[in-house]
Chains A and B, each alone.
Chain A
Amino acid sequence: DTEVTQTPKHLVMGMTNKKSLKCEQHMGHRAMYWYKQKAKKPPELMFVYSYEKLSINESVPSRFSPECPNSSLLNLHLHALQPEDSALYLCASSQESATGITEAFFGQGTRLTVV
């Protein structure tokens, strides 16, 4: 199983809503990532979890709240988003390696639209 599964595939939410994006992998990877991708732009790193602990937060606004309940799951809680937060949200995972040579697998993404 080399899949990273993201749900939902599409999400439309209002600016006052609270929603969550979910990501799951069963490859035993200990590093998981959230990326945000706007149209025709490369993915931008948001958060990195390593061994279930937040290791990198790229100055993401607090309306985005990540959570890693266990080694297979990664959530992104959304609250009071703005229309400019509409984007494709990608989850990725990789095996931690002392040599840094790790294959990163991406999910299919959640297409988020904030109205």
Chain B
Amino acid sequence: KNQVEQSPQSLIILEGKNCTLQCNYTVSPFSNLRWYKQDTGRGPVSLTIMTFSENTKSNGRYTATLDADTKQSSLHITASQLSDSASYICVVSDYTGNTPLVFGKGTRLSVIA
């Protein structure tokens, strides 16, 4: 069964600090992996999208890594800001299109002053 597991479930960090969120998946065949940021009550916003041939991709203070061999991804947030408080969702797509997007349960990040 296609699954996406994220850890930790929730995280609290001080403003200015860095953090790393983890994502493991069993989706096969693998097409691409995305990280989304979702503010409470709003739609998810794409941060990065990576295919199997990409190891890392950055978007400002967000850097995603992908190891397609171990089926693991991470999202690193540098110099966190209060506005980074949100849920971060790892989403994996298979090659067949039969399962358009498989969502992880997300990591709830709280950045405090």
Contacts and interface: CB of A to CB of B under 8 A. Distances in A.
Chain A contact residues, majority secondary structure = strand
Nearest to B43: A106
Nearest to A110: B43
B89 A42 contact: yes
A100 B41 contact: no
Nearest to B44: A106
Interface in A56-87: 56
Chain B interface size band reads 20 to 34
Interface in B8-56: 31-32, 34, 36, 41-46, 49, 51
Most-contacted residue by chain A among B43, B104, B106 (CB, 10 A): B43
B42 A109 contact: yes
17 contacts: A33-B100, A40-B108, A43-B44, A44-B103, A48-B100, A88-B41, A90-B43, A92-B43, A100-B32, A100-B93, A101-B32, A103-B49, A104-B46, A104-B91, A106-B45, A108-B43, A109-B41
Interface of A: 4, 6, 31, 33, 40-45, 48, 56, 88, 90, 92, 94, 99-109, 111
